[in-house]
A and B are shown apart, each in its own frame.
Chain A
């Protein structure tokens, strides 16, 4: 069996607590006022609840201690450095990995370009070797003395 008095009290208590945070409807406000008028216990409860709320509100002035802002800025700066260090580390690894490959590629590329130039007669092999053959006319044209 439900204790009607207890259920009633719980409802009134709910109204009491709600009244601190929101305006009650006229009907509910009257109900609460009547209950407060007739119950010494409820009045005590209201005083207790107000004290409780005030105590909690007063605990709101807090601090993380001196130099908190400096500590936060220190962490932000170290985050920036970590990012920069990360980039540097990536660059160094990249450089080490591809340095040899880059040199080898450059040699192969140079060889290919040279081969193509020679093949297409833009740069004749004789001229490269400085060994062009003299023609008969050139020989006859040479002065004897």
Chain B
């Protein structure tokens, strides 16, 4: 019990420290210091990359979307009221831009991912099971085949590490919907990766 309290106190203190640091950086940017914004980009690049690459896969558009997320943040920084953390605010921008990009792809009927079905089947036949990296790549490829609404909950919950409540808030969805999409996403992923699991068996 005591340990929990200490942990909570530490976490609270840490959160406040981060908030103060964020506020200082934001104030500095708003005063015209662009170097402070560069620090923000460096600080949150990996988080935005995880979100955008998680949603779109490794493609040339991913970096453009990542850049666009930071530019949107720069342009709307004066509107940022600090109700959520800067990271959450940025993640919300990144996920919405990624969803827009997926919609755009749908409209243009373009597929950026290369015949992932074939690859999963091929790799399932040849995978050396000791190589976890390859396994991760396979799961990533399979993951990219899921519909966007399932991908977004997985990215936020598993890759970005948000809680189900935070995920629901970012996506503007009820918690129940997020939970249902999470379990359905896992079931779908299992189905997509079934050639790999057959190989394992």
A-side residues, CB < 8 A to B, are: 13-14, 17-18, 20-22, 48-49, 51-53, 55-65, 68-73, 75-77, 79
Contact = CB atoms under 8 A, between A and B. Distances in A.
Interface in B55-113: 62-63, 66-67, 70-71, 74
Given A17-B187, A21-B179, A69-B42, A52 B34 contact: no
Contacts of B54: 59-60, 62
Q: How large is the interface on B (under 10, 10 to 19, 20 to 34, 35 or more residues)?
A: 35 or more
A136 B183 CA distance: 118
Most chain B CB inside 10 Å of its own CB: which residue of A14, A64, A73: A64
Contacts of A51: 135
A61 B139 CA distance: 15
Given A71-B63, A76-B71, A76-B74, 5 more contacts: A22-B164, A56-B158, A57-B159, A57-B161, A58-B136
Contact of A21 (B34, B157, B159, B193): B157
Contact of A72 (B49, B70, B190): B70
Contacts of B63: 64-65, 68, 71
Given A18-B183, A64-B62, A64-B63, A73 B158 contact: no
Nearest to A79: B71
Contacts of B41: 68-69, 72-73
Contact of A63 (B45, B143, B183): B45
Contacts of A22: 164, 179
21 contacts: A17-B186, A18-B182, A48-B197, A49-B190, A52-B186, A52-B189, A53-B158, A53-B186, A55-B139, A56-B140, A56-B158, A60-B159, A61-B46, A62-B53, A64-B62, A64-B66, A65-B63, A68-B41, A68-B63, A72-B38, A72-B67
Judged by DSSP, the binding face of B is: helix
B183 A61 contact: no
Judged by DSSP, the binding face of A is: helix
A72 B34 CA distance: 11
A11 to B, nearest CB: 11
B179 A55 contact: no
Contacts of B132: 55
A72 B74 CA distance: 10
